[in-house]
Structure 1
């Protein structure tokens, strides 16, 4: 088998560099140890099986669509046109297997936590605040970093128990410092319009089991740091924040879904420092340079544990590079829509495994930027062994993907199981509803 399983010394004690803390006290040290343990448990030693399972789910979803279309056609041929029209007007608009899990239920607002069973890909075991209480954000202020008021978003995310966090009304939340999340939390913006904007971003550090869904994150800026509470029983001195929209640091089981992001000082989404079991799906990315960094640095071997699924996203207007940029780990980039990047779409270094499957790549008009892939400044003698594979991608306007490495094992698995994700021609449908949804109670979302 060609897939690398990190040795135990890589998984242990390697996630404490550059934490953003001015000093590491016993609480931070314990969180780092627990995060390492959680990452070890979340790591999949057979990532190719996760790829195959995800593909099966996509095909099963397509089979269900085909059956619905067949039954609808039969009703029309039997004189049931009016009934068919009434049915199609209320037909669920979900177009991919993640959305199919919950969007067709008109009572989604009464059963919000059903979303906690819908993650797919490497983050499939992420349940967030499933089973916990519903916490309602009623106050958009963010004035006190040490003793946040009950009713604010900051108060909710630092609690020690699982919480499903929703919002009383539409609001714009300007974070005065980075929002540091605790374990077992869901931020759920469905049904209202929630913006995290013009302040700091969201930090998911040394924790596990977090869902971020249905919010807009934009115009995020670097903040000076200071004393910030990260749990009920602890606060610490934080250094200057980078200005990421969402920063995933030494975390596992994280699912970011139906989030719209643009205009952040640093990355829109970064996952680094041995984060793993991550799925980023149904998101919309616009107007940014360094879109998504997966892997801390060329020297940090701890990111060999990183496993990320990037599915059904739209990489749209004004994007330059890193969609994503990958280091060290295993990345399944499947059924995403790429539209006219400025430099490149998918890049990486330090021998990551990248399976690009069923994506649609529309190159920019610039003749010097047609290549999808980018390998920093490494010589061909080095990167020719990196396992970068393209499977059923669609290339438009001169786009091309430079594959490398030996993928014979996974190619044989795909052939033997006769499983493929949808090819690039289906991407328009699969990503049609990427970004924040307009959900109305008592109607399918």
Structure 2
């Protein structure tokens, strides 16, 4: 055989050895939610932008392209494929913007702190030039990083490294939306506001969630990773005796949002992970806020995994990891006003200073169904232990939540799900 023939044979052999999926990868951008996969499968299911015509299928690589594809939150069926890392804190030319670029009208952190120091300002709500400058500066940042997602939209990351950095996706009044295979990190607020009367000691309030559902319906969030990566709040300074927070929630589901499934996702390195229902007096949420959370991982999350008001929430086959040295941990499952959480076969891993009774916290809640829970490898009854340890300070919870989930995938044992979630949850891990 000649050298030319050997070379040709090598080329042909190489072609034969290329995996079939290398040039023919499954197009997940037109996937729809499977039947019975949680609450988002109700009322016709969730299809996102799967019916989009070719003119409304976009591959976006920067903020400007993403904004154009979102089309101001229009309801036209659309598929948006995110390639690489997109930084929301950029101008129209793609140049990065930092907090100093947004500051206007003479705003300055040191000026703001001097103006509203409780020792001289007192407990009144901030007002005057520096608060007005803060609001104007915050509006400039919001204009860049708050991105409206409209109905009939699919947003999907390409490959295993699609990242949306610094953005807050707003699904306000949207219906039929899918967000998959995407890392959303560091929705960083440059201009927190001081609230003197919050919590008795005052606190800093931030403006942005990585994803916020406000009056949204039929939403499927799958294989996403949400975190503060890049700017963890624990590294921020303390002002007025309180941590200068820069992040709000990772995922908030509020204002009568309904029929939501969150699956195979990872929530990490954050204080307040998921809020379902934002107020004890928001009685318009009754009959809404029906949410399924399954096969998700909560790692290094301080609280709200989730905290629920009013909603019927199915919480099954999730994995919770509290790392050693996590002395700021507060709780995982928050039972609040008129909530009806049905928790099945979830696994918790915690260091020795955290007890089973710490996993559940109740505020005006009355019920929690739980079964199949594992705590550091051992079966436990969350409800019984919560009531035994907290009866002196919190209302005992009943197991009757008034409903039984029927829309769900196969519910595995906590141990089986724990292993599967550890290896399969998060962006870049769709089978």
Q: Offset of 1:344 from its aligned partner? A: 1.0
Distance 2:410 2:427 in 1: 28
Instruction: String of CA shifts for 1:178-226, please: whole Å, max 9, x gaps.
Output: 01111100001032522111x33111001111111111111112377xx
Change in 2 beyond 3 A, CA 1:368/1:110: closer
Which residue does the alignment assign to 2:171?
204
Distance 2:190 2:367 in 1: 38
Aligned positions, number = 300
Which residue does the alignment assign to 1:356?
343
Instruction: String of CA shifts for 1:274-329, please: whole Å, max 9, x gaps.
Output: 0010011111111101111000111101222110000000111x210110000011
Structure 1 unmatched ranges of 5 or more:
1-89, 91-103, 143-151, 225-239, 440-444
Q: Offset of 1:363 from its aligned partner? A: 3.1
Residue in structure 2 matching 1:261, options 212, 215, 226: 226
Which residue does the alignment assign to 1:337?
319
Alignment of 1:156-171 (within 5 A): 156-158=69-71, 159-167=74-82, 169-171=83-85
Q: Offset of 1:391 from its aligned partner? A: 1.5
Distance 1:438 1:284 in 2: 11
Does residue 284 in structure 1 map to residue 266 in structure 2?
Answer: yes
Change in 2 beyond 3 A, CA 1:110/1:279: closer
Distance 2:28 2:164 in 1: 25
Distance 1:292 1:319 in 2: 10
Change in 2 beyond 3 A, CA 1:392/1:362: same
Distance 2:22 2:258 in 1: 30
Instruction: String of CA shifts for 1:318-359, please: whole Å, max 9, x gaps.
Output: 210110000011000000001127211100211211111011
Which residue does the alignment assign to 2:59?
137
Residue in structure 2 matching 1:153, options 66, 71, 96: 66
Q: TM-score, normalised by structure 2?
A: 0.63
Which residue does the alignment assign to 1:128?
48
Q: Offset of 1:108 from its aligned partner? A: 5.0
Does residue 309 in structure 1 map to residue 276 in structure 2?
Answer: no
Q: Give the match's secondary structure for 1:166.
A: strand
Alignment of 1:311-330 (within 5 A): 311-316=294-299, 318-330=300-312
Alignment of 1:25-64 (within 5 A): none
Instruction: String of CA shifts for 1:375-426, please: whole Å, max 9, x gaps.
Output: 13x4xxxx4xx22011212122787612532539768x99xxxx98222111
Q: Give the match's secondary structure for 1:220.
A: coil
Instruction: String of CA shifts for 1:146-196, please: whole Å, max 9, x gaps.
Output: xxxxxx1112123441011113x4223325220111110000103252211
Which residue does the alignment assign to 2:31?
114
Distance 2:410 2:32 in 1: 25
Q: Offset of 1:368 from its aligned partner? A: 5.9
Q: Offset of 1:117 from its aligned partner? A: 4.4
Q: Give the match's secondary structure for 1:132.
A: coil
Which residue does the alignment assign to 1:83?
none
Which residue does the alignment assign to 1:396?
376
Change in 2 beyond 3 A, CA 1:118/1:219: farther
The question of whether the paired residues in 2 share the 8 Å contact of 1:344 and 1:369 is answered with no
Moved more, 362-371 or 129-138: 362-371
Distance 2:313 2:27 in 1: 35
Change in 2 beyond 3 A, CA 1:118/1:284: farther
Moved more, 172-181 or 327-336: 172-181
The question of whether the paired residues in 1 share the 8 Å contact of 2:61 and 2:84 is answered with no
Distance 2:417 2:23 in 1: 26
Residue in structure 2 matching 1:193, options 134, 139, 161: 161
Q: TM-score, normalised by structure 1?
A: 0.61
- Cα RMSD after superposing both structures: 3.1
Which of these two proteins has the greater Rg computed from alpha carbons?
2
Structure 2 unmatched ranges of 5 or more:
1-18, 90-143, 192-204, 229-245, 324-328, 385-396
